């Protein structure tokens, strides 16, 4: 099993460009998440999907959109990238909700917006 797979691993964008980060899990998990990690800020939840067909805003949703394409896949879209979105992005999944289930993380996407 691959676990949680994120693509791409690295990306450089110019301000105003758009892009989609892809995430897929093969553990048949119901819940999926997108986090960003910045130095000194820890992990901040952008969006999550508690189950297929549902998505909810997290702590820092502005400037992002998500799609839960099916049970396996959860994508994160930046419509008009800004330098403030330079960060490391992690996708994660869990069997059910985050409160009682451990999270499995992907290897991350390092995004730079110039």
- Using CB under 8 A as the binding rule, whether residue 86 contacts another protein is answered as no
Q: Is 40 in the site for another protein (CB under 8 A)?
A: yes
Q: Does 105 bind another protein (CB under 8 A)?
A: yes
86 burial via Cβ count (<10 Å: 0-12, 13-18, 19+): middle
- Establish how many alpha carbons lie within 13 A of residue 33's alpha carbon, considering only the half-sphere containing its beta carbon: 25
CB of 29 to another protein, least distance (A): 13
In the list 5, 22, 30, 43, the residue contacting another protein (rule: CB under 8 A) is 43
> Are 33 and 45 within 8 A, CB to CB?
yes
Positions in the binding site for another protein (CB under 8 A): 40-45, 90, 97-100, 102-108
């Amino acid at each position: 099993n691959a676990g949680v797979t994120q693509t791409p691993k690295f990306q450089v964008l110019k301000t105003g460009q758009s892009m989609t980060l892809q995430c897929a899990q093969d553990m048949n998990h119901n819940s999926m998440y997108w986090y960003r990690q910045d130095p000194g800020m820890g992990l901040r939840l952008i969006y999550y999907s508690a189950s297929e067909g549902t998505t909810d805003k997290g702590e820092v949703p502005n400037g992002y959109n998500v799609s839960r394409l099916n049970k396996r896949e959860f994508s994160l879209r930046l419509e008009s990238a800004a330098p403030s979105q330079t960060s490391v992005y992690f996708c994660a999944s869990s069997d059910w909700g985050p409160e009682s289930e451990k999270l499995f993380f992907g290897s991350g996407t390092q995004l730079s917006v110039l």
